[in-house]
């Protein structure tokens, strides 16, 4: 039985704690939170225990860092004296490097993970990378923790982890952008908000299902919904003329550049 302590019981920290709690993993999970209201809200669910007594960190096997990166230096200062070398730290903080965490906490075993928001509905995508001090068995256990929220993808380096922010980490924001544009168009075309929502949600979900369940490229799928001289090809040709695909690629590049900037590169 592993003792896991999550520091930061906000959106992501709570999502992970709840997913681990619901999973068959042999783990005892608790949350350390600063906000009294949040502690009360979590404890009122009668599942995971939340509190503000940092001393529990002494007996934790795994410490899961889920606070905002800006406050990481303060958190490091307040918990460093409670931690020891055998413990393993998992961080989902964007931009905070493994080296910064090792120095800040005075330990070696660190896994850096980059989840995304659909983790909240068990359809998350998490990329991750570890320091060499993490053993194969330890990494397997951490991978199982991360997999409790959805898909996991190990990456070879921290640079690759930062690059994954452009595809999966920030990806939901880009998908919502496209859906938002479709929703506005649907309203302009006279569909009621409820109708537009159902049309867009099912169209996206159905397209994703086709993409996931068949070994067919996206270009081929675009071809399959387009007949010569038809409606879909008319819309797609307009997007091509306006270089929308190129601009999406540029937007992703700007996002990745920001991820590197936050990581001090």
Ligand X SMILES: NC(=O)c1ccc[n+]([C@@H]2O[C@H](COP(=O)([O-])OP(=O)(O)OC[C@H]3O[C@@H](n4cnc5c(N)ncnc54)[C@H](OP(=O)(O)O)[C@@H]3O)[C@@H](O)[C@H]2O)c1
Secondary structure letter of residue 169 according to DSSP: I
Note whether 6 binds ligand X by CB under 6 A: no
Site for ligand X in 26-85 (CB under 6 A): 32-35, 38, 66-69, 71, 75
Using CB positions, name the residue nearest to ligand X.
10
Could you tell me how many residues of this chain bind ligand X (CB under 6 A)?
26
By CB under 6 A, name the one of 150, 169, 171, 263 that touches ligand X: 169
Provide the b/e sequence for 44-69 (b: ≥16 CB within 10 Å).
eeeebebbeeeebbeebbbbbbbbeb
Determine the Cα–Cα distance for residues 264 and 72; give it in Å rounded to an integer: 14
Note whether 223 binds ligand X by CB under 6 A: no
For ligand X, give the closer residue by CB, 143 or 233.
143
Note whether 12 binds ligand X by CB under 6 A: yes
Determine the Cα–Cα distance for residues 104 and 34; give it in Å rounded to an integer: 19
Q: How far is the CB of 50 from ligand X (least distance, A)?
A: 10
For ligand X, give the closer residue by CB, 119 or 196.
119
Note the residues at the interface with ligand X (CB under 6 A).
Answer: 7-13, 32-35, 38, 66-69, 71, 75, 92-94, 114-117, 169
């Amino acid at each position: 039985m592993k003792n896991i302590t999550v520091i930061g019981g906000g959106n992501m920290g709570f999502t992970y704690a709840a997913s681990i709690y619901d999973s068959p993993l042999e783990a005892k999970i608790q949350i350390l939170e600063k906000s009294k209201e949040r502690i009360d809200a979590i404890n009122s669910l009668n599942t995971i225990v939340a509190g503000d007594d940092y001393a529990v960190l002494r007996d934790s096997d795994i410490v899961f860092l889920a606070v905002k990166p800006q406050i990481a230096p303060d958190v490091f200062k307040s918990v460093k004296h409670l931690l020891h070398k055998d413990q393993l730290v998992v961080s989902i903080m964007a931009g905070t490097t493994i080296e910064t965490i090792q120095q800040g906490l005075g330990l070696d075993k660190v896994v850096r993970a980059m989840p995304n928001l659909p983790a909240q509905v068990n359809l998350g995508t998490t990329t991750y990378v570890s320091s060499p001090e993490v053993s194969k068995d330890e990494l397997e256990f951490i991978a199982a923790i991360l997999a409790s929220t959805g898909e996991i993808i190990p990456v070879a380096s921290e640079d690759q982890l930062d690059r994954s922010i452009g595809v999966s980490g920030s990806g939901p924001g880009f998908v919502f952008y496209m859906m938002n544009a479709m929703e506005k168009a649907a309203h302009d075309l006279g569909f009621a908000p409820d109708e537009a929502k159902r049309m867009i949600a099912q169209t996206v979900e159905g397209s994703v299902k086709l993409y996931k369940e068949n070994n067919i490229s996206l270009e081929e799928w675009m071809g399959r919904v387009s007949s010569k001289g038809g409606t879909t090809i008319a819309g797609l040709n307009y997007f091509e003329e306006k270089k929308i695909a190129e601009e999406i690629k540029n937007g992703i590049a700007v996002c990745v550049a920001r991820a590197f900037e936050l990581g001090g590169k």
